Amino acid sequence: MKRDLVKTALVHLRRNDPVMKDVIRRVGPFALRLRRDRFQTLVRAILSQQISGYAAAAIRARLEALVAPQALSPENLAALSIEQLRAVGASPQKAKYLLSLATKVRDGELRLKVIGRLRDEAVIAQLVQVQGIGVWTAQMFLIFSLGRPDVLPCDDLGIRQAIRKLYGLAELPDKATSLRIAEAWRPYASIASWYCWRSLELPRDPVEVKGK
């Protein structure tokens, strides 16, 4: 994301939400780095579904080794079989998802090179046509690949956990509650979401620990 945009976003968040102001102070500078290879970002997202980041990274490394010395491209991935993808650790379902993605990009049905010209809603509509890509994955693509500044992934468990903790809720917020809290973040919900994720990595408040 552009430096001036981030600077403006931080001023806005600090001014409009005292809770977020404190999170920004504790977390420190905004340090999101965009993933420029859009195809590989989506491959990574599919592989990461419902497994640990470590396991997903291991499968991705084996997949990259399989196509080496070529890069992991739509053409190279589409040329693989279900059996080859299974051999590197992909589940049968994810193998089908990966081939669906690769084929659609290779054949021009999903035009990742120009998808950044579309509005957020149109990007999501394009991506969810691919097997294995839902709204959450599309939102992650908007944030981490296209750098869109105002995306709020309400269904993300980490975001819900952060909102519950930061805003003192008795239970995980539903979508309506998350949207209500995030009104103060607009139009920079992506930056606030990044701080929500990072807040989960902060050391526990000594006062909170003492109270347990």
pLDDT, tens digit, for every residue of 163-192? 999 999 999 999 999 999 999 999 999 999
**pLDDT at position 87:** 95
Q: How confident is the model at residue 127 (pLDDT cuts 50, 70, 90)?
A: very high
- Token readout for 42 is 């989506």
Residues 128/61/114/4 CA torsion (nearest 10 deg): 100
CATH number for 77: 1.10.340.30
State whether 162 and 199 are in the same domain.
Answer: yes
Residue ranges of alpha helices (H) inside 107-156 are: 120-127, 135-144
Q: Give me the residue label for tokens 């949207």.
A: 179
* Domain end point (choices 114, 144, 174): 144
**CA atoms of 212 and 209, how far apart (whole Å):** 5
* 156 catalytic per annotation: yes
State whether 164 and 191 are in the same domain.
Answer: yes
State whether 46 and 115 are in the same domain.
Answer: yes
State whether 137 and 167 are in the same domain.
Answer: no
* Domain end point (choices 110, 144, 178): 144
For the chain, the domain total comes to 2
State whether 42 and 109 are in the same domain.
Answer: yes
Q: Is 31 exposed, middle or buried (0-12, 13-18, 19+ CB in 10 A)?
A: exposed
Domain holding 162, by residue range, is 3-32+151-210
Active site residue: 17, 120, 155, 156, which one?
156
Is pLDDT larger for residue 108 or for residue 51? 108
Interval 33-77: pLDDT, tens: 998 899 999 998 899 888 887 888 999 999 999 999 998 999 999
